Structure 1
């Protein structure tokens, strides 16, 4: 298991770091908490010592004989700062070292990860954004804050991601993946769209969004700036990701075109509805006395993947499609998928055989990756997170 330094800077979100510490220690990691002086106004040193089983200090003049301002950073496998305030981000970006945490950040030779938490105005300030960009350019992982309730009545972007989400991102970083998407902007769609018949009924599909969210988490761990367009996904939001929620295929289409305009890679993992009702009925459709069911006329939805391919003016973005297929009397799963790859025009197509209830909503997956260059890669049955990294491996090859 890993040796982790958990830096805690002074913000109201400091109390959430206790839950993050519990997740890290219960999974077997050795965690040393290094708080800032101001953070102790929110959570005291006794709490961190009791939960971590290790001593806590904030300055560089305690236990000087152990040279903690150098030793702690040198021996760490990961330095994780949660919450990271605007002040801490600024100090880290400019190399300031006036306490034990900032000294540890300077001496660390391991991955460094920040989970920011602050008011929206502070996060959006040009100085903070420049500091974040600087840290990311050096290979550090800076998660995107969540959107939600802040201190008092304020609501907006700047909320600390949930401890479980930060933990999941940290696990990905500890896995030792290269930061080969650093400086890249990627867009992932996830979930399944809904096309409403009336105020209570809709046409939909079984896509849960698990694979899309796994792709987003993997991209964050590899250093990318990630936007997810999520269609009716009820899963916890991945830490460090901008999430745009949509319902219908038309909404998904609009947001994907907006997000893809300046992206390096686009992965269309969502399952848009192929058809929608020709008309929406304002009132709930009632049963009739004669028992005759109403006739519902469908029209075809636009093909978002084909449009995204047509909209690009060069080889950017690299575009990946997903195909949920079943074989039939006319062709096998792979034969259907090859025809779809040719029709869509994307660079890569991830093919899932979804017959007999496979893949949808499951923790694991298996797939075949078809390339426009004729390549074929078989992905063995395993966690969707593993498949996500294998997809990004193929994308990175084409980006380079």
Structure 2
């Protein structure tokens, strides 16, 4: 493997940067990639199988099914769980668009619920139950930013109403609810390995987690054009037969190689994220203009939080974004518009401003600050100082 150098970020504080940690990991990444090239199998090969075993062990899942993105993981999980045309799936109005579009891509209909008032940004169980109709087949909470949604209440709702509990745990690697890894409390969940995630690849990649062997088997078939393996066909001879209409969602072995290397330092990265989040909170809790900082909501069970995104609620959010950008500080708005007001869904009955007030309020006030293992104390200080200067009127 040829040597490489990683160009350092430009001055300022980018929203995400992994140049230092990537350089540190490059020898191990290189070994894994060399192995891929030596074997000559670049998709759905031995490295992918290695990663599936490693993630199953890390999360405690009976089955881990690698696919090419977190979005495909959601779509295939839903399909493998039997969700399809005519069905409804309850999802929170405050989430990334894929939480809803994945349902639509199965032919089912996403039906929205508000988020809690507790500050965890998770699906509100009472709102979710109000959204259940005779066509509802599943509820799909999303574990956002730093902690799981209220799985005890949502799990009880699913059991009471005879529904699947499917988890959009794309951000949830390392998060646990009463000892159970996110994605495994209900019928199944997903992981996303988008580069900015807590465990990120160099491109798109995803994983389905489940303890249900039927869901795992169906997801494995769906990711590879519905193929059931090399089969003896009495007409065509030995051929690949497709039993269902699947898709091409195989994970690349190069991405699996990168993830296997990065998995070795995942716990260290999680600890560093927690350390940085605590430092942010010490500086920003109660500061002028800052309405809320992340906190772990006590639901009466042990919860292992993981700070994937450090999300604050602030006054004059968009003005603050412009101020920080002028100082070279990157931010992201999670999320600029709630799902029920997205153009793809806004024309549906009841999808009007005010329908889900807590989701809409969050969309107007929330802002994600830089948070990643390579962030330095000086960088964090620059972010906090810039926020303080903005609300003090110092430009």
Greater relative contact order structure (CA < 8 Å, 6+ sep): 2
TM-score by length of 1: 0.27
Larger Rg: 1
TM-score by length of 2: 0.27
| Greater strand fraction, Structure 1 or Structure 2 | 1
